[in-house]
Amino acid sequence: MDNEDTKRRKNMRKLFVVLICLSIVSAFAFAGGASEQGTSSGEVQYKESVVCADGSQITTGDPQMINNLQHNRLFKCSHNTLVSYDSANAEYLPELATSWEWNADLTELTLKLREDVVFHNGEKFTAADVKYSYERIMGLNSTASSKFVGILDHVEVIDDYTVKLVMANVNVDWLDTLALPLASIVNQKAIEADELKGPWVGTGLWVITELEEGDHVKMVKNDNYWGEQTPTRELELRYIPEASARLIALQNGEVDVCISPASTEEAFVEEDPNLELIRLAGSTCCYFAFNTSKGPGADENLRLALAHCINYDDIILGAASGQGTRAVTNWGPATFGYYDGFGDYTFDLELAKQYLAKSEYKTLTISVKDSARLRAAQIIQANAKEIGLTINIEELEPAALTKKSAFKTAEHESMLYTLGWNSYGDDASRPYGVGSNTNKATLSDARVQELLELGRSTTDKATREKYYAEIQTLNHEHAWYIPLYYSELTMAINKGVSGVIWEGHQSHDYSNIVVTL
């Protein structure tokens, strides 16, 4: 029997088996009726539309323009990166790249790309899109730029599905950067056609259809997604600034996820049989940041006076409702290079008064953007009064404070800030690197910049740890940032919610969220 005849017989047997299986499934479906998702009544039914509520605003659908928690949650849904990082197992996973390889001296990274990916506008994904995306990042005046400029030299397209990244400087944490939402791949044709909405076009599971700045983002499922599909059809990220209002919306069934419910109302969640309260040890540090480039924030004596007059326990109790732990350094507790060997700032009013006496400033303005930070600022205000320092508190909308504290144009005197730390050491470039809009101290100290460069380019683990320990020691000595506490994360959810990857740094992944009916 020839090979063709054998193949035909095997294919006929396979077809016969498939038809039998389909007949059985059809029989069950006919007997039980269909659910709203088209499955049999004996199977799980899911909500078609899911809403997640947060207290922070989303202002753009461009992943390369901003790098913060609420925007990262959006971009994990709408876009893809070349690689992703699995924090639970501490490993890098393929995403738009299928494999990668460094050369011997870590100056070139060659990546093989998926060949079955299309953008939301139907354009096929190729190596040219990687080149365009990364060159665009380096040309933007954004937080993303600071993670690429001076580190990536250029991108070479080897063929349609092979790309080489040539480094300007060695960065042993470069894969971590490539896994950040800010390194998402965008489509050139879409952006050239529409500068505002073009960057919304990605390759992710969700397509952005509507973005009302400071209110909501609506998305629909991408039926042409290259990965696993989801039964959820629509996903909305909604801005509800007040924690109590977010929880009421959850209780009423208007939303399915409530980020950071008021701690005083968590008992209501625990008592409700339809809701669930999730607690997670956070890698988010709340700290006091001073604009060290000018004004009172540039005065080291004033900063150290505050460091020694703050009642940190009162802040944890009053601002975090007791759900936090004292921070000795502003580094992430699970971030590579964490060091706290210098100890904490002692509560010493006499020492604080001595520092303040050497300062030319006797007033300081603290800018805040939400109720928890307002409470912390009020406690600091009361503490400072005891040593003769007047604190003024300025309440701003999140977008306004972000603009006011941007690195190159910073006008704030000081602010209370929370940073969700990633696990890799070079994440310190965000709060300490020149040009980073997360550098709320507007710090440009030459030794710190040198240590950051050494930390990212050195392969020896122990040596890297020493560099990062020195950065934290310098911060403790000069009080550019005064660490306050690490917050415990809480999320209230509809009990049917599953599929979310909850992250200690708060850049949660909603892309595979489902809600069981």
Q: Which two tokens stand for residue 244?
A: 């109590």
Cβ burial, residue 426 (10 Å; 0-12/13-18/19+): buried
> Which residues neighbour 359 within 8 Å (Cβ) at sequence distance 6 or greater?
296, 299, 301, 302, 305
> Which residues neighbour 230 within 8 Å (Cβ) at sequence distance 6 or greater?
205, 221, 499, 511, 512, 513, 514
Phi, psi of 500 (to 5 degrees): -85, 140
Among the listed residues 290, 288, 356, 347, the one whose alpha carbon sits nearest the alpha carbon of residue 313: 347
The string of pLDDT tens digits covering residues 58-82 is 999 999 998 888 999 999 999 999 9
For 61, 193, 467, the CA distances from 238, given in Å and listed in that order, are: 14, 28, 41
Residue type present at position 116: D
Cα–Cα distance for residue pair 127/109, rounded to 1 Å:
14
Cβ burial, residue 282 (10 Å; 0-12/13-18/19+): buried
Cα–Cα distance for residue pair 127/179, rounded to 1 Å:
17
Cα–Cα distance for residue pair 330/472, rounded to 1 Å:
8
Question: Do the beta carbons of residue 143 and residue 182 sit within 8 Å?
Answer: yes
Q: Give the CB-side neighbour count of residue 363, counting CA atoms within 13 A.
A: 3
Among the listed residues 209, 229, 214, 215, the one whose alpha carbon sits nearest the alpha carbon of residue 78: 209
Tell me the domain boundaries of the chain.
80-191, 204-281+489-515, 284-487
Run of H or E residues at 309: helix 300-309
Phi-psi region of 343 (alpha: psi -120 to 50; beta: other; left: phi over 0): left
Give the 3-state secondary structure of 310-336: CCHHHHHHHHCCCCEEECCCCCCCCCC
204-281+489-515: which CATH architecture? Answer: 3-Layer(aba) Sandwich (3.40)
The string of pLDDT tens digits covering residues 227-240 is 999 999 999 999 99
Cα–Cα distance for residue pair 343/338, rounded to 1 Å:
13
Cα–Cα distance for residue pair 107/171, rounded to 1 Å:
9
> Which residues neighbour 186 within 8 Å (Cβ) at sequence distance 6 or greater?
62, 63, 64, 79, 129, 132, 133, 136, 198, 199, 201, 202
Among the listed residues 227, 198, 236, the one whose alpha carbon sits nearest the alpha carbon of residue 74: 236
Give the 3-state secondary structure of 409-423: HCCCCEEEEEEECCC
How confident is the model at residue 53, as a pLDDT? Answer: 98
208 bridge partner residues: 219
Q: Which two tokens stand for residue 299?
A: 């005065």
How confident is the model at residue 386, as a pLDDT? Answer: 97
Among the listed residues 59, 177, 165, 131, the one whose alpha carbon sits nearest the alpha carbon of residue 433: 177
Give the 3-state secondary structure of 28-88: HHHHHCECCCCCECCCCCECCEEEEEECCCCCCCCCCCCCCHHHHHHHHHHCCCCEEEECC
Strands (E), 160-283: 162-167, 206-212, 216-221, 234-239, 257-259, 275-280
How confident is the model at residue 43, as a pLDDT? Answer: 83
Among the listed residues 429, 515, 47, 444, the one whose alpha carbon sits nearest the alpha carbon of residue 257: 515
Q: Give the CB-side neighbour count of residue 5, counting CA atoms within 13 A.
A: 2
Cα–Cα distance for residue pair 464/471, rounded to 1 Å:
11
Q: Is 350 helix (H, G, I), strand (E, B) or coil?
A: helix
Among the listed residues 456, 490, 449, 492, the one whose alpha carbon sits nearest the alpha carbon of residue 471: 449
Given 3.90.76.10, 3.90.79.10, 3.40.50.720, 2.60.120.10, which CATH number is that of 80-191?
A: 3.90.76.10
The CATH class that applies to domain 284-487 reads alpha beta
Phi, psi of 24 (to 5 degrees): -65, -45
Cα–Cα distance for residue pair 313/325, rounded to 1 Å:
9
Cα–Cα distance for residue pair 184/437, rounded to 1 Å:
19
Per-residue pLDDT in tens (0 to 9) along the chain, 517 residues: 443 343 333 343 333 333 333 333 333 332 333 233 333 335 889 999 999 999 989 999 999 998 888 999 999 999 999 999 998 888 999 999 999 999 999 999 999 999 999 999 999 999 999 999 999 999 997 777 888 988 999 999 999 999 999 999 999 999 999 999 999 999 999 999 999 999 999 999 999 999 998 899 999 999 999 999 999 999 999 999 999 999 999 999 999 999 999 888 999 999 999 999 999 887 889 999 999 999 999 999 999 999 999 999 999 999 888 888 999 999 999 899 999 999 999 999 999 999 999 999 999 999 999 888 999 999 999 999 999 999 999 999 888 999 999 999 999 999 999 998 988 999 999 999 998 999 999 999 999 999 999 999 999 999 999 999 999 999 999 999 999 999 888 999 999 999 999 998 889 999 999 999 9
Phi, psi of 325 (to 5 degrees): -125, 145
